[in-house]
Amino acid sequence: MGFSLYFAKPANYTASPMNRIDRLFAILLTLQHKRRVRAQDLARQFEISKRTIYRDLSALNQMGIPIAALPGEGFELVEGYYLPPLMFTENEAVALLLGSRLLAQQAAGSVTQSADSALAKIRVALPDQVRARSEALTNIISFVTPKAKFDLDDPQLLLIQNAIQEKRVLHLRYRGYKKEDVTEREVEPHQLFYADGVWYLEAYCRMRKDKRDFRLSRTEKITPRREIFHKKRTGKLQTQPIIVIKIRFAPNAVRWVREQQHYGYQRDETETPQGTVMVYHVNDELEITPWILGWGVSAEVISPVELRQALRETALNLANLLT
């Protein structure tokens, strides 16, 4: 037994007639937000006759919207049908077009194909002026992305996605950075993320009893376990130690350093005729050593002394190899 709410209107209330296009759209929104509605309820809502409601529902059916009639119960949208939000502003349309183009350039797989088909539907639904202006803007913007695309249908990625959704423990055979030994680890997967052309898995490592980021390219094998974990653990309260590195760059290199800045960059400390001192934070000196060496004599490590000495030894070894 159904019921509906009805609010009495003031005596001086005058209803504003709704044109049919607006009413059809409003009926469609009502069907989307309510599981099932009766013709008499729609008639009361829009202050029209039930006969007009039946005509409107028939018109929506003829437009390709699947509405099921349930005798004695009402009307509902066929399961699986969704009404997309098609009233986009010009900036929203530009964002969708550029986002879809970037995904298509950088990724492969069924998701990319679905994005293309969804975008085609959105283009058709946009008002002519909005579509023309948004396409004009997107035509003058392009992206330079890595030639190698990542495959969103990669079996390893799909396996990890399923494990994250199911909260299923994973067994990893993992090789650490510049380490020959392979470790066997049980992890509780939390999230996948893609950065600088590399996929990472964020997970709670039971061996280290802490949260870790695992680079998938260093993972030799991933095996799902039958065990399910229920609570997302974040690991120890203390964070990994931070190494503060200060580097002085020659004046003629500063501009180019800023264009190819290391991710550990924090701030500029001083700027003098001899150069600019920049401060970096890393968890391991190996994270930044190759980058520093790439700047040659334009980069001078001020601190820590241990890193300065390690770079000196590396430079001497290189000199010996080249003589």
146 in a structural domain: no
pLDDT digits (tens, 9 = 90+) for 205-234: 998 888 888 989 899 999 999 999 988 877
User: The domain spanning residue 71 has which CATH number?
Assistant: 1.10.10.10
Beta bridge partners of residue 174, listed in sequence order: 183, 219
Residue 269's pLDDT is what? 93
How many domains does the chain divide into?
4
Residue 310 placed within a domain = yes
| DSSP code per residue over 205-243 | ETTTTEEEEEEGGGEEEEEEEEEE--S-----SSPPP-E
Looking at the structure, tell me whether residues 1 and 72 fall in a common domain.
yes
Summarize pLDDT for 234-270 with one digit per residue, the tens. 765 445 688 999 999 999 999 999 999 998 999 999 9
Identify whether 316 is part of a domain: yes
Q: How many helices (H) and strands (E) does the chain have?
A: 10, 13
- Sign of the dihedral through C-alpha 187, 188, 192, 196: negative
Please indicate, yes or no, whether residues 308 and 253 belong to a single structural domain of this protein. yes
Residue 193 domain-assigned (yes or no): yes
| pLDDT surpasses 70 at 8 | no
Of 205, 228, 251, which residue constitutes the final position of a domain? Answer: 228
List, for residues 41-78, the tens digit of each pLDDT value: 999 988 899 999 999 998 888 888 888 888 888 998 88
SS3 195: strand
Quick one: tokens of 164? 């994250």
8 backbone dihedrals φ, ψ, rounded to 5° = -70, 145
Last-in-domain residue among 228, 255, 271: 228
Rounded CA separation 235/222 (Å): 21
Interatomic CA distance for residues 293 and 295, integer angstroms: 5
CA neighbor of 144 nearest in space, from 109, 102, 113, 111? 102
Same domain, 10 and 69: yes
Range of the domain at 298: 243-321
In a domain? residue 236: no
The structure's pTM equals: 0.54
Confidence of residue 86 (pLDDT cuts 50, 70, 90): low
